[in-house]
Amino acid sequence: MTDKQIKVLLIEDNPGDVRLIREMLNEATDVIHKIECLDRLEAGLKHLADGDIDIVLLDLGLPDSQELSTFIKAQSQAKKTPIVVLTGRDNEELGLNAVKMGAQDYLVKGQVCSNVLIRAVRYAIERKRTEEKIKASLREKEILLQELHHRVKNNMQVISSLLRLQSMQIKDEKALEIFKSNQNRVKSMCLIHERLYQSEDLARIDFADSVRIMTNHLVASYGINPKAIKLNVNIKDVFLDINKAIPCGLIVNELVSNSLKHAFPDGKKGEIKIAMHPLNKNEIELIVSDTGIGIPEEFDFRHTKSLGLHLVTILAEDQLHGNIKLDRLKGTCFHMRLKIKQ
């Protein structure tokens, strides 16, 4: 489209309506409407595929197509071309549905004058241009955000690798354990960024997928025989944004690590379960349990020198504004109710 000319494809089978629409558009004083008229949808779709059209004026009642299916077919052929429905059907519900589906406007023949039609054509083209610019801008931002997550993941991977290389020179078992714990913490955060980078939805990730990868990494990290200690992940329909996924991931990392290190001494076999499900639109329930030897009654996980359990408490209660309950009846079970939305 130039500033002086608008290429209009009119798909209309009534010769009288065609003549009237031409006359109304030709009343424009500041622009020329170059009108191509076809009386069948099939012919119109072919013309859309071949030609350079600025806007489509579409009747919904054509010999080869009726009602909203007419619009759907036209829209599928002309995704970037604005379509104004110009029909004889004075049906409010039909018009509302057409606009919801992407029509730029819904005009009823016999109720529209030349000024309204000319203005509708111009505004439809301007709105469509604006929509395309917004979509392009959003896509550009998505790509940049994906790249950001990718770079963060790479940087964290470097930190994890440095910790691993440094740990190879450590002989003290306690210091080595600290290095390994920190490496796994970095790895859990790295995993979240990696999943976001790979996801089509940058606003949230499928947490179940992340937990499976994370826990399998922990089993390998601690040299555990997966046949001796089984992992059971029961998470469905839980999608978290990065601000909630990272603390939840760290909580799972700490509790599963503790179970792997302490719950099954001397080759004892058992199971570790991680379950998470929505309680309502604002809260989730997270349960991490094992069938191991359990935690002594006198042990207070809120007042311990263990950095891991102290971190779990801070993340769950302070950052995620939730609460934690410890059940010692059968092994160890940490039961948490966490807020994912304020």
Residue range 296-308, pLDDT digits in tens: 888 888 877 777 7
pLDDT at 330: 85
Dihedrals φ, ψ of 22, to 5°? -60, -45
- Rounded distance, CA 232 to CA 244, Å? 22
- Rounded distance, CA 54 to CA 36, Å? 11
* 212, two tokens: 């499976």
- Rounded distance, CA 73 to CA 75, Å? 6
The string of pLDDT tens digits covering residues 222-273 is 788 888 899 999 998 888 887 888 888 889 888 998 898 888 988 889 999 9
Residue 203: pLDDT band (50, 70, 90) is low
Q: Is 309 or 325 the better-scoring residue by pLDDT?
A: 325
- Rounded distance, CA 255 to CA 308, Å? 8
**Least confident range of 34-43, 118-127, 298-307:** 298-307
Q: Is 98 or 183 the better-scoring residue by pLDDT?
A: 98
- Report, as an integer, the average pLDDT of 2-31: 86
The string of pLDDT tens digits covering residues 89-122 is 888 888 888 888 888 888 888 888 888 888 888 8
pLDDT at 3: 59
Residue 336: pLDDT band (50, 70, 90) is very high
Dihedrals φ, ψ of 146, to 5°? -60, -45
Identical fold for domains 5-112 and 205-342, yes or no, is no
* 303, two tokens: 């007042």
- Report, as an integer, the average pLDDT of 175-204: 70
* 64, two tokens: 């080869």
Q: How far is CA 276 from its chain centroid?
A: 19
- Say how many CA atoms lie within 13 Å of 13 toward its Cβ: 14
Please state, in angstroms and as integers, the Cα–Cα distance from residue 282 to each residue in 90, 239, 338, following that order.
Answer: 43, 12, 9
What's the mean per-residue pLDDT of the chain?
83
- Rounded distance, CA 277 to CA 248, Å? 13
pLDDT at 201: 61
Instruction: Write down the domain spans for the chain.
Output: 5-112, 205-342
Is residue 334's pLDDT more than 60?
yes
- Report, as an integer, the average pLDDT of 37-59: 87
What class does CATH assign to 205-342?
alpha beta
Q: How far is CA 311 from its chain centroid?
A: 29
According to DSSP, the residues that pair with 338 across neighbouring strands are 284
Cβ atoms of 33 and 121 closer than 8 Å:
yes
CATH of domain 5-112: 3.40.50.2300
pLDDT at 325: 92
Q: Is 188 or 142 the better-scoring residue by pLDDT?
A: 188
Cβ atoms of 44 and 74 closer than 8 Å:
yes
